[in-house]
Amino acid sequence: MSIAVLDIQGLKTQFATKRGLVSAVDGLDLTIQRRETVCIVGESGCGKSVTALSILRLIPKPQGNIAAGKVLFHQQDLLQVSETEIRKIRGDRISMIFQEPMTSLNPVYTIGFQIQEVLRKHRKMTKKQAREAALDMLNLVGIPEPKARIDDYPHQLSGGMRQRVMIAMALSCHPELIIADEPTTALDVTIQAQILDLMNSLKKEIGMAVLLITHDLGVVAETAQYVAVMYAGKIVEQAPVKSLFAEPLHPYTVGLFDSLPQIGGSQGRLKPIPGVVPSLIDLPPGCAFQARCFRAQIDCQQTPPWIAYQPGHWFRCWHPME
């Protein structure tokens, strides 16, 4: 059996607030193989982005703290390496595409300079070599006339172009793992499809693994081989994408599917999941989803559900779908 590119074991990330300690990620387990795309999906605030930041140790201190767990990258625990070593890994062997490119790109430097900076730091290229490599990357991600665009500033580009620059920067060192946090948010569907196609083709070409964080189940269906559904800091269901879409077992996953717009649906109305996500400071003693669940029973209010398994498919629920 091949060694996983990334193997997360029991990850727990906490934040100190005025009201108490919040476990934004609580006991997360996840494995990603080479050339595999794994999606984490869930509502806003469920812990998806905190998971991504925890992998690269970008949790802000002192408020945030990775309290427990392991993040094994080719069997090396990233939570135990020195700050110098993790800086060598970031942007080189593991890259991240952040959700909003306008706030991730530095507005006072040209896009070419920002891509070259990555290459000169991690690949020890000369200024001339880095510029040529940056031009190649801009061409690879579909930036028109890269020689004319390389000296543009971020504000001179459209949202789709800025996102392509972020992808170019992330891919410039040919990383083994890409973490993409909502990479197509706020982009129109045409540009979204182009960027997803680009990431998929580069994944095959370079051989990298992808951790894709999203709330868009359409994106999941298009790109993923494996899906983890997250709720209130925990993964509540994991399965291959075909299995999850064909037979979701956790009521929360069913609720996510039911809330999607349907062509020809009843008067065009959406079917939302009732209620709101509980406060992570004061979670109920049993299942965190109990107050919103249409299958909840007395035992759901008393004891957190254990993990149950079916072949290639697991979930946390006392009363899964039949």
Amino acid at 289: F
Q: Where are the beta strands (DSSP E) in the chain?
A: 6-17, 20-32, 37-41, 64-73, 76-77, 94-97, 177-181, 209-214, 226-231, 234-240, 307-310, 313-316
Torsion of CA 69, 245, 201, 35, to 10 degrees: 40
Q: Residue 265: its pLDDT value, please?
A: 56
Q: Is 292 helix (H, G, I), strand (E, B) or coil?
A: helix
Q: Residue 207: its pLDDT value, please?
A: 82
From residue 76, alpha-carbon distances to 3, 55, 70, 198, 306 in Å are: 11, 12, 9, 29, 29
Q: Residue 14: its pLDDT value, please?
A: 95
For the chain, domain boundaries: 6-93+177-261, 104-172
**Which CATH superfamily hosts domain 6-93+177-261?**
P-loop containing nucleotide triphosphate hydrolases (3.40.50.300)
Q: Residue 3: its pLDDT value, please?
A: 76
Please list the pLDDT of the chain residue by residue as tens digits (322 residues). 567 999 999 999 999 998 889 999 999 999 999 889 999 999 888 999 999 999 999 999 899 999 999 999 999 999 999 999 999 999 999 999 987 777 889 999 999 999 999 999 999 899 999 999 999 999 888 889 999 999 999 999 988 889 889 988 998 888 999 999 988 776 777 777 877 887 788 788 878 899 999 888 888 998 899 999 999 999 999 999 999 999 999 999 999 998 887 766 555 677 889 988 888 888 989 999 999 999 999 999 999 998 999 888 999 999 999 8
Q: What are the φ and ψ backbone dihedral angles of 106, each rounded to 5 degrees?
A: -80, 120
- For 306: left if phi > 0, alpha if psi spans -120 to 50, otherwise beta; the answer is beta
